[in-house]
Structure formats: structure tokens, C-alpha cells
Amino acid sequence: MAAQRRVSGKLARMVNRHHSQPEMRDSDARPEHSPFLTISGESARLAGEWTLAHAGALERRIAAAGELQALDASGITRLDASGALLLERLLSKQHIAVADSGLAHEWQKLYETVQRSCDESPAPEPFCPPAWERMFERIGRSVMEVADATRELLSFLGLTLHRLGRTIRHPKRLRLTATVHHMEQTGLDAAPLLVLLASLVGAVMAFLGATILSDFGAELFVVDLVAFAFVREFGVLLTAILLAGRTASAFCAQIGMMKSREEIDAIRTLGLDEIELLVLPRLIALIITLPLLTFIATLAGLLGGLVVAKMSLDVPFSMFVERVQQTLTLQHYLVGMIKAPIFAVVIALIGCLEGLRVSGTAQSVGEHTTIAVVRSLTMVIVLDAFAAVYFMEIGW
């Protein structure tokens, strides 16, 4: 801390010394802190440094000045563009020509340059409607945006399916290396975190179940609870939520950066297809990895439940496995697994689409990444709710 203070002290001295250099010639004639604007009767004397460093004080003095007949600017020892602007303001308010002000010759040129540039009248402030009007405008815009986004997503789905069909007919067009690369990034790299999260959720669920079910002496049903929940819903839902946060954002940012650096345009002008080159490898990678990750998450959840059942409920390992075998059927497993590729398509498409909608700036990349995550999360949960109702109705 002490060293820092010393450095800044040194800097301040250096800055001061430097600033005061031009003043030194006049320093014997004028006190250090000369008044910038001294008014006596109807004449005024300007003095000192008319620079940005004193702009605040200068502005206050100028605003306080009344009607003046004569003005003497010969005392100005230093002028920069900010000071010149303020001087221009004072002179034009008092209708005094700069030639009559006695401004030192060396500052004349600067003053003229600034004065020339100020001639233009300021542009009118943009019209701003009242707050309630803007609120309705925003609501309207948001509704239209949701409608637009849905339409856009559907048309993007169609476009991607068309390209997918073409790639299936000509499998050589598939970019295999990129696909495997994305499988590694979205699948393998996400697995450790997913195992941790799923097993913790499984454990928490078993604890919750144990607290309630032990009142009825039905501790064994904790196994049913964890197994049903993970195989039907939580395995796939947890995976999809994790990937919506992790992968949709990554896809969007990757493609968005390419878009903002005109790489997408370069792809198009080279006669290549951005859907085939960028979207399909990501989509296919996610369709393969999301079901695999779902399977891992389900197992991890069951494992979490198993550990809690063993530790706090004294349900032996063999009984846990036996109970799972008794209650679970293939149907339950399929109910969970069928949703996995659908969620994969939703996450990959929304991520890629938002990436392609990025426009130019760094801020736009950020905005669209947020949209990609929020929208894919929403879609995943909404679709899951619909699926739950549907499977209940058909009795699976």
C-alpha cells in the first residue's frame, strides 16, 4: 500500500510539474490559483489555464457572469479545445468578437478551429413517448418477438431436416471429424459434472422420500420413488438442463463469433453451406451424446439413491436391485429415453439458430447467448411437461 501511495504521489508531482511549465513565465506576475474570470463593473478579465482540468469551475463562472461590455482575454496562459469551447460560449453570449478580446496570438488558431466546428446547430433530441406508451410498446414487441422466434425456429428445423436428408443420401458430405469433436465437447466433457449432479439429486430425493415414507413404515418405497423418477423424468431432464446451459450457449457463442467476423459470409461465398458445415455436425453430435448422457445420469441418480438407502435406511444392496427389477419395466425406460433425442434437437437447433442471428457487435453475441440458454431451457421443460401428460394419458 505504502509503495502504491508513493508511486501515485510521484505521478501527481510529475503531472503537476508538467502542467505548470507554460505557466512559469507568468508566475511572478500572477498568483498560483489565479481567478479565471474577474468581473469589475461591465468589463471582465480572463486569466489562467482555460483547460479541461478547470472546465467545471470555468463553466460556473461563465454561467454566473451577467451582461458585459468589454472583455480582456490576454491573461489566458493555456488554452485547450475544451477551454476554447467555453470561451466561445462566453464570447457569443456577450456578443464580443474574439479579435476584440485580446486572446494571445498562439491560441488564436485553436480558437478558430473550435469555433468553426461549433457552427452547426445541435441535432434535435429524439422524441421520447411517455412511459405507459413505451410499456405497451415493449409488451407488444415481446409478443411479436415470441411469435417470430417460433416461426423462425420451425423454418430452421425444416431447413436443417432438408440438409440432413441430403447428407443421408450423400453420406460423404458429413463432416465426421467435426462431429466427433463436438461429441467429445458436449458428451465426454460434460459427463463428470453430470454424474456428480445426478447422484446428488438422487441422494436428496431418497432423503426426502425417507423422511415422509418412514412415517408410514414404508421405507422400501424410497427405491420405487428414486427409480421411477430417474428413469422416467429426472435422468433426461437433468441432462437436458445441463446441456441447455452448457452446450446451447457454447454453440451460440461459437457460431455468433463466426457470424460477427463475417466467417459465415465467407462460407457462403465459397459455395459452401453453413447448415451443413456448422449446424449438422453439432446436431448429430448432440443427438448421439444426449441419450448416452441420459443413461449415465439415470445410473448416477440410482447410485445416489442406493447410497442413501444403504446408509440411512439400512436397505441392503441386493434388496435395492431386486426392488428396481420388480418395479421397472421397459416401458418406463422408453418413456425417459424417447425424450432424449427430441431435447437434443431442441437444444442444438436453438443454440445454432441464435448464433446465426448474431449481428456484428460483441454485445449482440452476449444477448443471443442468453436468449439461446433461456429459450432452450424453457422449451425443454415445456416439452417435458407435455410428454408427461401424454404418457400418463396413454397409460405408459
CB of 354 to other proteins, least distance (A): 18
Distance CA(139)–CA(179), nearest Å, equals 40
User: Considering only 14-22, 137-145, 156-164, 270-278, which stretch makes contact with other proteins by CB under 8 A?
Assistant: 14-22
Tell me which of 140, 192, 316, 360 binds other proteins, using CB under 8 A: 360
User: Considering only 105-113, 196-204, 306-314, 329-337, which stretch makes contact with other proteins by CB under 8 A?
Assistant: 105-113
Tell me which of 20, 23, 38, 55 binds other proteins, using CB under 8 A: 55
Task: Indicate the residue type of 298.
Answer: T
Nearer to other proteins, 84 or 197 (CB): 84
Q: Which long-range contacts (CB under 8 A, 24 or more apart) does 355-358 make?
A: 355/251, 355/252, 355/253, 355/254, 355/255, 355/256, 355/258, 355/259, 356/255, 356/259, 356/264, 356/274, 357/152, 358/252, 358/255, 358/256, 358/257, 358/259, 358/260
Tell me which of 150, 329, 363, 370 binds other proteins, using CB under 8 A: 363
Tell me which of 5, 18, 33, 170 binds other proteins, using CB under 8 A: 18
Nearer to other proteins, 107 or 234 (CB): 107
Cβ-based neighbours of 166, under 8 Å, separated by 6 or more:
173, 276
CB of 83 to other proteins, least distance (A): 8
Residue owning grid cell 453451406: 273
Distance CA(35)–CA(61), nearest Å, equals 10
314 binds other proteins (CB under 8 A): no
Tell me which of 27, 43, 81, 158 binds other proteins, using CB under 8 A: 81
24 binds other proteins (CB under 8 A): no
User: Considering only 4-12, 136-144, 281-289, 371-379, which stretch makes contact with other proteins by CB under 8 A?
Assistant: 4-12
What is the spatial order of strands in the sheet that 70-79 belongs to? 37-40, 43-50, 70-79
> Which DSSP letter does residue 314 get?
-
Nearer to other proteins, 219 or 367 (CB): 367
CB of 259 to other proteins, least distance (A): 13
161 binds other proteins (CB under 8 A): no
Number of residues that bind other proteins (CB under 8 A): 35
Nearer to other proteins, 325 or 361 (CB): 361
HSE (side-chain half, CA atoms, 13 Å) at 182: 27
- Report the sign of the C-alpha dihedral through residues 168, 169, 175, 177, in that order: positive
| 89 burial level (CB within 10 Å; 0-12, 13-18, 19+) | middle
80 binds other proteins (CB under 8 A): yes
Distance CA(323)–CA(318), nearest Å, equals 9
CB neighbourhood size of 352 (10 A):
27
Residue 288 has phi, psi (to 5 degrees) of -80, -45
Tell me which of 9, 27, 69, 106 binds other proteins, using CB under 8 A: 106
Nearer to other proteins, 13 or 151 (CB): 13
CB of 285 to other proteins, least distance (A): 31
Q: For binding to other proteins (CB under 8 A), which residues are involved?
A: 7-8, 10-11, 14-15, 18, 51-53, 55-56, 59, 80-82, 85, 106, 109-110, 112-114, 117-118, 120-123, 126, 359-363
